[in-house]
Amino acid sequence: MKLAVIGATGWIGGFVLREARDRGHEVTAVLRGPLRGDGLDEDIHTAVADIQDRDALAAAIEGHDAVISAYRAPEDRPDDLVTAARALIGAATDARLPRIVWVGSTATLKVPGGDTDLVDLPQFPENWKPSGFAHRHSLRVFREESQGLDWTYISVPRTVKDGVRTGTYRVGGEELLIDEEGQSEISTEDLAVAILDEVEGGRHVRERITVAY
């Protein structure tokens, strides 16, 4: 497949980029500026576009089979995430690229066995709430404004940290996935595996999912 990765020089995006390349896909890193690609391997294509610029983004992703976004908004501008979601939906429509996989926040998941979003819990850190609300808004944008596109919104578990690639994980839906010890976690390596599995398999089109051990 020919895949475009937004946020490819970031933490999760970097793992996604390497996983996609190792699987033999042709990968384009969509960068905010040309200098951000200096550390990328020579076999990675690059394109320059701000994720909030619909026209530039459409030009960058045109001709690809799917786009994966691991974009993270600046801490002091969380609502940029919503603007980015709308711009990407518009760009994908303009470029006639039907497949979007968007990496989103734990905050939008529901408490296991309940109907409350994690971001609405009293114990949810106050300084994280603006970002959590922006992630919830971006999920709503995909659900309400992405007609005709095959999108998947993947919420990360509570803990993501670098570790090992096992190739195994569980897939959940609207609720936070926890194990028998109450933990909700996955390695960054296996998160990238899950993201690429979804891109290739398309088993959860127009759905929000989460993954964890």
pLDDT 10s digits, 5-28: 999 999 999 999 999 999 999 999
pTM of the shown model? 0.95
pLDDT in tens, 79-94: 999 999 999 999 999 9
Entry field: residues in the chain: 213
> Mind listing the pLDDT tens digit of every residue in the chain (213 residues)?
999 999 999 999 999 999 999 999 999 999 988 766 667 888 899 999 999 999 999 999 999 999 999 999 999 999 999 999 999 999 999 999 999 999 999 999 999 999 999 999 999 999 999 999 999 999 999 999 998 899 999 999 999 999 999 999 999 999 999 999 999 999 999 999 999 999 999 999 999 999 999
Sheet holding 99-104, edge to edge: 45-48, 26-31, 2-6, 66-69, 99-104, 150-155, 207-212, 170-172
Q: 202 — alpha (psi -120 to 50), left (phi > 0) or beta?
A: left
The neighbouring-strand residues paired with 28 are: 4, 45
Q: Does domain 2-212 have CATH number 3.40.50.720?
A: yes
